[in-house]
Amino acid sequence: MHDLKKLLIERYGKFSSKNIKQKIPKNVSQIISRGSIRKFTKKKVSDEILESLIATAQSAPTKSNLQQYSILIVSDKKNKKKIAELLKETRWALEAPIFFLFLADIRRNQLITEYKGYEYKNNNMDHFMNAVIDSALSMQSLIIAAESWGLGICPISMVRNHLEEIKLICELPKGVFPIAGLSVGWPDEKKRVSPRLSKNLIFHKNKYSDEKIIEELKNYDELFFKKNPIPVSKQRHVDKYGPAEKGTWSENISRQLSIPERTNFSNWLKNNGFDLK
C-alpha cells in the first residue's frame, strides 16, 4: 500500500487536507505517479508481454460493444524510418522497440453490417466520436498494463500532422485513421512527474464553475515553472512572439492555441470515409 498524501503532493505540488491517512493500492499509486518516457533501451519486449498488452487494450470499455477501433504495430524497419522522418524532432518515438498506432475504425463494422445483409446507416459524427473514444480507452488500458510491467510509454499525437503519408505507409483504408501513436519500451531515463492543474479547476460538484480559473492558474504556473520551466528551445512560436520572459505553462499553451493547427483535419476525414454529419 502507498501513501496517498505523498503522491498528491508529487502530482499537485501541495495538498491542503491535513487528515489524509489512507493507504492506496499499488496500481493506483502507479497511475497517480506516472510520467512519460522518451528514451528507451534496445532490450526487446517479449512476445508474452506483448500478448498481454493487446489483451488489456481489448479489455477496455467500448460503446455498445461495437469495438470500433484497431491497433497497428509498426515493426517493419523501413516503415519505422519513414514515419520517423515525418515526425522530425519527435523521431525518437520510433526508437522504442514497439510503436503502436491506435486507430479509430468504422470500416470493420460497415463490412460486417453489409455481410449480414443490412444497410449501414451510421456514418455520422456520433459514431466518429464513439470510434475515437473506443480507441483512446484501449490505448489508456494498454498504457496502464505496460507500466505495470515496468515498461515506459509516450503517446504521440503528432502522427495526425501526417495523416495522408501514414495512411499510405500503413495502407489504411477509408473509415480508419490514427488517433495517436504510442511508443513502448524499457526505460532508459527516470520518469518525471509533471504537475497538473489544481483539482479546483478540473473537478466540479453538481454544476460547472469557472470563477477561479485565473486565481488557480497563477498558482499552477508558479508550481510548473519551479518544477519544469519551459526553455526557449521548447517554447511555442518564438519566431512570431519572441522568447517568453518566463517559460510558464499558460504562456506556452496560449501561444500554441493562438495559431490554427491541423486545419485540414475535417476535410481529410471526409475524404477518407468519415461523413461527420
pLDDT interval class at 23 (50, 70, 90): confident
| Alpha-carbon span 179 to 132, nearest angstrom | 7
Maximum average pLDDT range among 162-176, 196-210, 211-225: 162-176
Question: 73 phi and psi, to 5 degrees?
Answer: -100, 130
Contact by Cβ (8 Å): 124, 106: no
Residue 17 clears pLDDT 70, i.e. is over it? no
DSSP-derived letter for residue 63 is G
Report the distance separating Cα 29 and Cα 18, nearest Å: 19
Give the residue-averaged pLDDT of 30-41: 96
Residue 1 has pLDDT above 60, yes or no: no
Q: Which residues pair with 177 in a beta bridge?
A: 104
Q: What is the pLDDT of residue 119?
A: 98
Residue with more model confidence, 32 or 22 = 32
Helix axis angle for 213-227 and 249-257, nearest 10°, is 110
Q: In terms of pTM, does the model score above 0.85?
A: yes
Confidence of residue 84 (pLDDT cuts 50, 70, 90): very high
Residue 18 has a pLDDT of 64
- pLDDT of amino acid 21: 74
pLDDT of residue 220: 95
State the residue for C-alpha cell 505523498.
6
- Say which amino acid occupies 252: N
Query: Hey, what domains does the chain have and what are their CATH numbers?
Result: 1-33 (no CATH), 47-189 (3.40.109.10), 197-277 (no CATH)
Q: Pick the more confident residue, 6 or 85.
A: 85
Residue 132: Cβ within 10 Å count: 18
Rounded mean pLDDT of 10-38?
Answer: 84
Sorting pLDDT into bands at 50, 70 and 90, what band is 206?
Answer: very high
Q: pLDDT averaged over the chain? A: 95
15, pLDDT greater than 80: no
- Smallest Cα–Cα separation from 80: which of 20, 174, 156, 175? 156
**What is the per-residue pLDDT for 106?**
98
Given pLDDT bands bounded at 50, 70 and 90, which one contains residue 16? low
* 28-33 LR contacts (CB < 8 Å, sep 24+): 28/2, 29/2, 30/144, 30/147, 30/148, 31/144, 32/7, 32/8, 33/7, 33/193
End-to-end CA distance of the chain: 49
Residue 24 or 118, more confident:
118
**Per-residue cell: 121:** 446507416
